[in-house]
Structure 1
Amino acid sequence: MENEKLKVGNVPNLRFKGFEEEWESKKLGEVATVSSGGTPNRAIASYWNGSIPWVSTGLINFNFINKVDEYITEEGLDNSSAKLFSQGTLLIAMYGQGKTRGKVAMLNIEATTNQACGAITTNKNILNPLFAFQNLTKRYDEIRDLSNQGGQENLSAGIIKGIEINFPKIPEQQKIASFLSLIDERITTQNKIIGELNVLKTTVAKKIFSQQLRFKDDVGNDFQEWECKNLQDVCTIIGGGTPETNKIEYWNGDIQWFTPTEIKSNFVSKSERTISISGLKNSSAKLLPKGTILLTTRATIGEVAISLEECATNQGFQSLVVKKNYNNVFLFNWLKVNKYELEKRVNGSTFPEISKSEIEKIEIVTPCLEEQTKIANFLSSIDQKIQTEKQILELLEKQKKYLLQQMFI
């Protein structure tokens, strides 16, 4: 590849050797047809559960769509505004929840779509669909900004047709698309590796905690039988709280203070907001030691993480500090496998919640500390492998993002 930064004209920063012509600029509507689909009447059973794939925007995620969740019948297709689109059609989410709007996908199957999906069929003599897919992927934020302003920000067929796209001759488009497809395949493989490792860990953990799999001690002898306890025998359970938000002296201190939305990984260390010693003393928040298991118990139930340093939480937690002769990583993994034990004890009409007293009564069967430690170390080794594979995935995604920025205009 050559770097074109010192050259002038309508060319990208990074380019394959042998291509020197300037790129052409057109509106998408000049080089592609843009339409949308529809939804058959759900009240008519004969319109649904047929053999024709039907795509909704939830399936659009910078991906290639090979399977769908719902199918319609020929009768449903004939009696709605749904249309059958060919393999290779680009889909763009015109509206949808959260960050869905503006995402793109390509059909790897013949399928219909709902009305929230824009369907782009390129003139293949002018615009390679894979090249267009990568181009629109790169421009996600830009495309979202084109949305209609109003109560709900949407894209429309008119807006999509008006998107300006720069492109070279077909041979260069094909080379770019093929190159980026190789990276996409590597990313797909990496996601599959991570998925399989997650399934492996879940499967093995279930067998361990049901005692279908047992460890032996360092000389090959069986460990003693597991004992049934209540969680209150295994750990001390501590709630949280929120300092008054209008008192600035309670905030931006040195104490990490977590909310349930921050529990997204196995270990946490830095929170989005911090509180001061004064905020801790003048609220129901408690200082939790390093190694505490943070357990979400209000609205979001059963998410867990281990704190890597002293911290506090809001009232959406009941945190677990393990007692002597118990391993926190063992208990953490037990909670992940037995999340249903929490969910079935939930109360609350406004939002779901589980009380400290209910958590304390939960029964847990535990081995001796030595076997707990062996189990914890074994499951942690799988977690470390998963983390390594996620880091590889992150590097691949960064590489793809860089190339998209440099290889397109």
Structure 2
Amino acid sequence: MTPQLRFPAFTDKWQLKKLGDIARVVTGSTPSTADMSLYGDEFLFISPADMNSGRYVTNTRTKLSQKGFEKSRPIPVGSTLFVCIGSTIGKTAQATIECTTNQQINSVIGDDNNVDDDFVYLALSRLSRRISLLAGEQAVPIISKGEFQKTKLSVPSKPEQEKIAEFLTLVDERIAAGEKKLELLQKYKKGVMQKIFTQAIRFRDENGNPYPEWEKKRLGDLFDRVTDKNKENNQNVLTISAQQGLISQTDFFSKIVAAKNVTNYFMLTMGDFAYNKSYSAGYPMGAIKKLNLYTKGIVSTLYICFRAKDSNDNDFFEQVFVYGLQDSEIEKVAQEGARNHGLLNIGVSDFFNIELTLPKSKEEQQKIAALLIALDDKIAAEQTRLTAAKQWKKGLLQRMFI
């Protein structure tokens, strides 16, 4: 057996081996929470929730004291961490320092004479989906230690393992650098938005003069409500995505999940806004998105739909709603009402009576929008590069492993 893509210095066939024959598998444990002296801030105590930030685990929500660590099962640097219990079964990561884990994680400690730790991590991360299927369908998915140890890996000589691992680790470092750059750009934009919308920074006109003071405006004075019905029986049913805004259900779900008869739905045209009163992670007061991707589309009448009056800049208000300037005002009128099936209890009139403090000058609105859109473009470009790098790595894993 040989892979499709291989370093030219190596010609030996790869060997198929059980994981338990080339590595030691250690199942973690949780120290008694009744004895708080076992917990502290000295040693990482890894749970699946800590395995969310790429290949390496560098910090954990919970840490152990020296006493707690001595009662646990130590995991050496470089070990592969594999979630074998729970909804996140198949998650993989790698230890960067000596640590310990809870019982949901099996740690793979390679035999230094025969296997490279980085190679084992890369091989298991490639096989994680296939391995996770061993759990079958049950209330709490679980792969026993015995079953996990039977996992078969195709393994080359240790020098070839090291060469593959060295190359793909450089790829991972490139991806990690891209993720960090993306995170910094997103934080930078968030900081800029905060300074703009709290008026900590202000724009000036072409003559260097300040624009008029910002003023409070009702949403009803800034926007016209859209209640046009779908008389033409348009089938482009839209839903709100946190990342993509108003997007076709066909594109997002690969199917339409709306009712068969959609002639009663509201008709939107490009540039219109829709407010979804459903609250979710990141959107405690619901989400407002602008239609950018299609000329027309339709939404459920549960949405509050509106379009900007001529004297206002559409792109500016898109940024206002992304920032969430409206959230504190929505909370004031929604907090007294009950939350029903995930929907905030806010009426149409209450929504349009919300007041926001905004630039009076359309020219200032446009300058703000131009700056924030430029930052969005930088973020999108970095996201595209990161996605391409991850796809490249995926292709390499498929071709460099068996």
By the TM > 0.5 criterion, same fold?
yes
Q: CA deviation at 1:210?
A: 1.3
Deviates more, 1:167-176 or 1:82-91: 82-91
Q: Which amino acid aligns with 1:307?
A: L
1:41 paired with 2:45, answer: no
| TM-score normalised by structure 1 residue count | 0.86
> Deviation string for 1:178-230 (max 9, x for gaps)?
00011101101111111111011111111111111111223333222222112
Q: Decide which of 273, 292, 300 is 2:272's aligned counterpart.
A: 292
RMSD: 2.7
Closer, same or farther: CA 215–25 of 1 in aligned 2, 3 Å: same
Closer, same or farther: CA 315–152 of 1 in aligned 2, 3 Å: farther
Q: Decide which of 309, 321, 334 is 2:320's aligned counterpart.
A: 334
Could you tell me how far apart the structure 2 residues matched to 1:17 and 1:225 are?
A: 69
Instruction: Give the paired residue count.
Output: 385
Q: Percent identity over the alignment?
A: 28
CA contact (8 A) 2:326 2:356 kept: no
Matches within 5 A, 1:207-356: 207-237=195-225, 254-260=234-240, 262-266=241-245, 268=247, 270=251, 272=253, 273=255, 279-281=261-263, 283=264, 285-300=265-280, 301-308=285-292, 309=294, 310-314=296-300, 317-337=303-323, 338=325, 340-341=327-328, 342-343=330-331, 345-346=334-335, 347-350=337-340, 351-355=342-346, 356=348
Determine the structure 2 residue equivalent to 1:95: 85
Q: Which amino acid aligns with 2:322?
A: K
Determine the structure 1 residue equivalent to 2:182: 194
| TM-score normalised by structure 2 residue count | 0.88
Determine the structure 2 residue equivalent to 1:366: 358
Could you tell me how far apart the structure 2 residues matched to 1:193 and 1:42 are?
A: 38
Closer, same or farther: CA 276–86 of 1 in aligned 2, 3 Å: closer
Give the secondary structure class of the aligned counterpart of 1:67.
Answer: coil
Matches within 5 A, 1:88-167: 88-97=78-87, 100-167=88-155
Give the secondary structure class of the aligned counterpart of 1:131.
Answer: helix
Determine the structure 2 residue equivalent to 1:396: 389
Matches within 5 A, 1:161-176: 161-176=149-164
Closer, same or farther: CA 316–34 of 1 in aligned 2, 3 Å: farther
CA contact (8 A) 2:185 2:379 kept: yes
Could you tell me how far apart the structure 2 residues matched to 1:226 and 1:395 are?
A: 42
Q: Which amino acid aligns with 1:47?
A: L
Q: Runs of 5+ in structure 2 lacking a partner?
A: none
CA contact (8 A) 2:82 2:92 kept: yes
Give the secondary structure class of the aligned counterpart of 1:15.
Answer: coil
Give the secondary structure class of the aligned counterpart of 1:110.
Answer: coil
Give the secondary structure class of the aligned counterpart of 1:96.
Answer: coil
Give the secondary structure class of the aligned counterpart of 2:269.
Answer: coil
Could you tell me how far apart the structure 1 residues matched to 2:39 and 2:375 are?
A: 42
